[in-house]
Chains A and B, each alone.
Chain A
Amino acid sequence: MRRIILVEDDLLLANDIKNILKDSDAEIIINIKTYDEAIIAINELRPDLVIIDVKLKGTKTGIQLGAYLLESELAPYIYLTGSVDRLTLDNIKDTRPYGFITKPYKEVDLKTMVDIVINNYEYKFVDIKRNYSFDEIEDDSPFVIKKIINYIDANIYEKIDIKKLASLTH
Chain B
Amino acid sequence: MCSYLATIFITSCMSKLDSIAKSSSAFENTFKEANHRIKNNLQLILCLLNLQANEYPAEKVADFIGKGKSRLNTIFLIHDNFNQNNGFDFVNFSKYISDLIYFLIDCYNVEAGSIKFEVKIEIERLESEYAIALGLIVNEMISNSINHAFINSKNENKITIKLCKKSLGGYIFSYQDNGNAMIVYKEGLGFKIIELLTNQLDGKCVRSVEHGMKYEIDFPCME
Contacts and interface: CB of A to CB of B under 8 A. Distances in A.
Given A16-B47, A58-B223, A85-B32, A11 B39 contact: no
Contact of A19 (B39, B44, B48, B50): B50
B72 to A, nearest CB: 13
Contacts of A20: 50
A126 interface: no
B30 to A, nearest CB: 13
Nearest to B223: A58
Interface residues of B, number: 23
Interface centre among A9, A19, A59, A104 (most CB of B within 10 A): A104
B35 A16 contact: no
A137 to B, nearest CB: 51
A81 B109 CA distance: 39
B40 A103 contact: yes
Contacts of A33: 200, 202
B161 interface: no
Interface in B6-58: 32, 35-36, 39-40, 42-44, 46-48, 50-51, 54
A40 B54 CA distance: 31
A15 B196 CA distance: 8
Interface in B42-91: 42-44, 46-48, 50-51, 54
Given A31-B199, A58-B223, A13 B44 contact: yes
Contact of A82 (B40, B50, B193, B202): B40
A72 interface: no
Given A57-B223, A58-B223, A59-B223, A12 B36 contact: no
Contact of A11 (B40, B42, B54, B200): B200
